[in-house]
Structure 1
């Protein structure tokens, strides 16, 4: 089963290595990992997407992660309502004749063309895993030259219902 784990950690060298080592010792395959500084420059947020065989094994890893000195908070957010996004840069072969066709394919995905060369284009797409995969599949017939993508990064959705939010407008 695929699980999404987030960890807030001290922003110091070696933390990523120690944490990924815990996953490796448990023989969990890390499908994707993203790491970045949070709103506090002293902490980083790690998002792991892992394949696990059992909930029991995952619970053990979460417990071990929580014991690490540099780990401030660990959460399995797989069963929560989350916002998750990936980024992909897709370089495909293109000619001046088919560029408008490729642009038309990219438009419904809200993808943008970030580079154009004499015989290639680079397209940037952001979205959930299925959206990124769907665009890659559509562009594959043009010839993929290079593909670089991030792993998923995720946040728990706000829990307030729209009807609970009060609005005030400045007149």
Structure 2
């Protein structure tokens, strides 16, 4: 997974995609954020386990004039979440079972009818996959999955320690 900050100029995203295509990398997901302070953030999940090839890709991207910064986001150094909407159909009277499955996965029922419902969840990709598998006993009418969202974790010791004994406003 790579996070790439590029200059918010026309065709900058296209040039990054071209670099990936020319080097033979297949993108599993690509998420492009709206420009903020003249920069656009691109998060790309590439299909490779070869560390040498990935390091070469980072070098190629850093050579591009559009690229400001490239950060590799590994599983152990980042938070990873994915969002999903699952529309399921079931026989009449099956709603309680669908609600029980959704609650077990901390998902929300955003729409419910006698014979169908829509479930929304945002969690780690493995948990999302487990939710979809649990709902596969019903008829899955539609499945909309967002690309993974990832953010770097601070690695400094004690950086975000939380004192649970205090409440807001106490000193």
Partner SS state of residue 104, structure 1: helix
**1:9 correspondence with 2:10:** no
TM-score (norm 1): 0.84
* Structure 2: tracts of 5 or more residues without a match: none
Asked if the contact 1:80–1:156 (Cα under 8 Å) also holds between the matched residues in 2, the reply is no
Question: Cα deviation per residue 1:66-116 (whole Å; 9 max; x = unaligned)?
Answer: 122221110112265110111111111134511121011011221111223
Which consecutive aligned stretches of 4+ in structure 1 deviate over 4 angstroms post-superposition?
A: 163-169
Aligned residues: CA RMSD: 2.4
* Structure 1: tracts of 5 or more residues without a match: none
Q: Which has the higher contact order (CA 8 A, sep 6+)?
A: 1
Partner SS state of residue 137, structure 2: helix
TM-score (norm 2): 0.84
**1:111 correspondence with 2:110:** no
- Size of the aligned set, in residue pairs, is 167
Q: Give the distance between the partners of 2:160 and 2:79, measured in 1 at CA.
A: 20
2:169 corresponds in structure 1 to 170
Q: Give the distance between the partners of 1:7 and 1:134, measured in 2 at CA.
A: 30
2:79 corresponds in structure 1 to 83
